[in-house]
Structure 1
Amino acid sequence: MKLFSICKTLSLFVFTCISFSVFAQFEEEFKEYKGLRYQFYEGNSRSLITDSSIIQVQMKVFNSVDSLLQQTYQEEIPTLINLRDSNNIKMPLVEIIIKGQIGDSLTVYTQSDSIYQGSIAIARPPFIPKGSWIRQEFRIVRGYNTEEYEEVQQQIQKIQMRRQQEYMEKMQEEQAEIQRQSDSITKLQVEYIENTFFVEKGIKEYKKTESGLFYTVDKQGKQNIEEGDKVRVHYKGTLLKTGEKFDSSYDRGEPIELPIGVGQVIKGWDEGIPLIGRGGKGTLYIPSDLGYGARGSSNVIPPNAILVFSVEVIDDNVKGETEIEQNSSEKESKTYRVNDSQEDYIENVFFIQNRITDYKKTTSGLFYRIEKQGTPIKKGEKLRVHYEGITLMSGEKFDSSFDRDKPIEITIGENHFIDGWDEGIPLIGKGGKGYLYIPSHLGYGERGAGGAIKPNSILVFKVEILEN
């Protein structure tokens, strides 16, 4: 178990790797170092800090109106700084801390605008306004020898394992509750379609599947569509409740081409298109659990919407290039266990439930899907990125540059944004589009980000990397 990196350990509010240039008026006794303003207060019992020390600090963080934002005094896991690590001792905050001694206290002022920049700007909470300062109060608690350090590392490992188990149990409970709610909504929607909507519309020649999909056939096509086969489909999609049209290939004058049965379309299509058949025409009535569920789709399809699709399956006999993996049945039968990681959950629960198969995984645990492959991106290259971020478990959107109609500018390889972006954006490439599925250790970790992103959140980003 390696020692925590100081940038990860001292919270979102202490990005000490950044140099700051904005100053406020401070009392004369405050000193300045690399943009930070600080003052030491000597303790009663002091001992020297050496280059080989491993020290523990306690911290409180306040905003410009002295509201307490964070404190480590009640945390189970101690905040440790390993001065044997050359990367740590190069950080401005650490360079300041080692000017003192064990037992001392320290006040540090940091300009908030220098923290919330780049992709981190989206996490700025309203209680830290632009131009304000953040005050950090530190106490250098103690030093650790090698034996003491090994002992505390074992304790930390046990705490983390317990927290991971508690978190996974909570995830399971939330997923089970989501499924219960989905089942309840589905039951009501199925009853409404059959006993109210169809009766009011005088629709009698319909069929119903075990999943709750309803369909009518105007012209029966050839039912020879197999999993992985590509089909071309003309369609018009409307909301059953309002009759409002949200999409139509007829309006564009061109059918869409897609593989069936491999999770690239909603479940209602994967099941319904083969029932209509190649060369057939009909209508699909799709409950929300077979459509876009509780998340909806952007601003076009509301959460839990029942969808109606008029479809025409073009009579082309094109076999798909997409083949189902031989072990897909094994994946689907795998049950999710409490001690599985977030990576297991994404791959073996979320992807299976949402029938997502066209994903890739990196050694770090990042998952990604590419809708359009872009060109290579070099380290240090500046990019403009449009994105929409949601939390995987709730499906809630926490930020979107699309809503603001303004992409953000980032520089690859400068660690100004989360690790999942630093790794994932180059995989999609300049000019590319895709999705990043980011476990919390590659996102905002145990602390989350303000009130928008909860601790240990798995994040999903839809990204579009602009050409220029």
Structure 2
Amino acid sequence: MKKGLLIMSMAALGFAACQGGYEKGPSGLLYKIHHHAAGDSIKEGDFISLNIIAKTDADSVLYNSYEMGRASQTFVPKPMYDGDLFYAIMKMSKGDSATIKIDIDSAEKKGQPRPQGIKGKYVIYTLKVEDIIKKDTANEQGFEEKIQAFFKAEGDKLQKAEQPKIDKYVSSNSLKTQKYPSGLQVAIEKEGTGVQPKTGDTVKVHYTGKLTTGKVFDTSNPEVAKKNNLYNPAREPYNTLDLAIGEGNVIPGFDEGVLTMKKGGKSILIIPSKLGYGEHGMQGGMIGPYTPLIFEIELVDVVPGKPAATPQPAPTADAHAGHNH
């Protein structure tokens, strides 16, 4: 039932806005409900679906559920302290939108870890409550069935939206792609002149992984990592991804796409979810159910017939030390 839940945390999200018109709460909390819909307010134990944009005081985006292409879901916990994020969320109803400003120093004094790299006074959330399933202690089975039905309906919507997302990405980026029977599409940016890898060869590739919204979730390029708030000095030096290709060390679409290339070439792989993370996506990651992926690949080298000495994980939203969002 809980598969696909994105549990929000102070360490992962944040946001900044003007002071005017805010109501004051405990521990330095400021909140402004922009639209207040009729209905029961959110309570502890309810299941909620939220769209969230998160920024720092310096207007640096830390999280944007719209870029993810899906809302975030969680069960409403008991507030960790009087004046935390959920203290404010529990004043909202389905359809409400609000900006919530959390005082970083006050949160730290209450035992909450200070988000790394965040400067300024506030961690600030702008959010909209898309849906609420009210906790029903008298009918736990019915409560769970409603949540299961919610995820089924959300999955159906995401599945129907997948191909239009792919088509829009290809069209808006003016890509000329080769379509393969599996559903993979490959746009060649630079034709390689070297050897073409075969299953079992070790390939050395530079890559950048994106969603169709353009949101980068992983890269072997340190400059791209810095630009997209993915950089982690612990990963230095940023090197190629080295792996035995065609042996299931990466998602199927990555394997298939690299096998179409030649050494020295650059290609863009448009990978449907059935060749990626499928109907479930990645638990706790940026890649949701039925999410198509874009990989920009440079095939740097091919070592025939010699598997990589140390198998490396597939490039994913959670791969590598660079993924501290």
Q: Establish whether TM, by shorter chain, passes 0.5.
A: no
Q: Which has the larger radius of gyration?
A: 1
User: Greater share of helix residues, 1 or 2?
Assistant: 1
User: TM-score, normalized by length of structure 2?
Assistant: 0.39
